[in-house]
Amino acid sequence: MSVAVAVTDSPEGRFALEAAVAEAQNLGTGLLLINLTLHDFTEDEIPSGLEVTVINRSGRGDRDPVTAVVDELGDHSEVDRLVLGVRARSRVGKMILGSVAQRLILRSPVPVLTVRRDATGR
């Protein structure tokens, strides 16, 4: 059993990482950190006290983020849930930019735990 998290360059991505760490600690399991940011994680950004596997992308040209996450979930059969950070978007925003989170929720081969920051940023 393991928890996966898709981390983006956004407050929601960082909040998802915090929630995934808490979930993995609660379950006493490892963490698969799928890095969707445009930089590699530094050692101080990787949570300590857990068995963490980091999957880095090689930049913007490295597959669609949804495909990347779904592929990694397929390659890691030990993962039994995916943690995603979400935020409210307008209809126009969804239409123009799409929603990686929505596409992942619909395509994920494992259950998805979505986390949302409240108005106070928690």
- The pLDDT of residue 17: 93
User: pLDDT tens digits for 9-62?
Assistant: 888 889 999 999 999 999 999 999 999 888 888 888 888 889 999 998 766 666
- The pLDDT of residue 94: 57
Question: Which of 114, 118, 119 has its CA nearest to residue 19?
Answer: 114
Separation CA 32–CA 79 (nearest Å): 8
Higher pLDDT, 4 or 48: 4
Q: Does residue 22 contact residue 2 with C-beta atoms inside 8 Å?
A: no
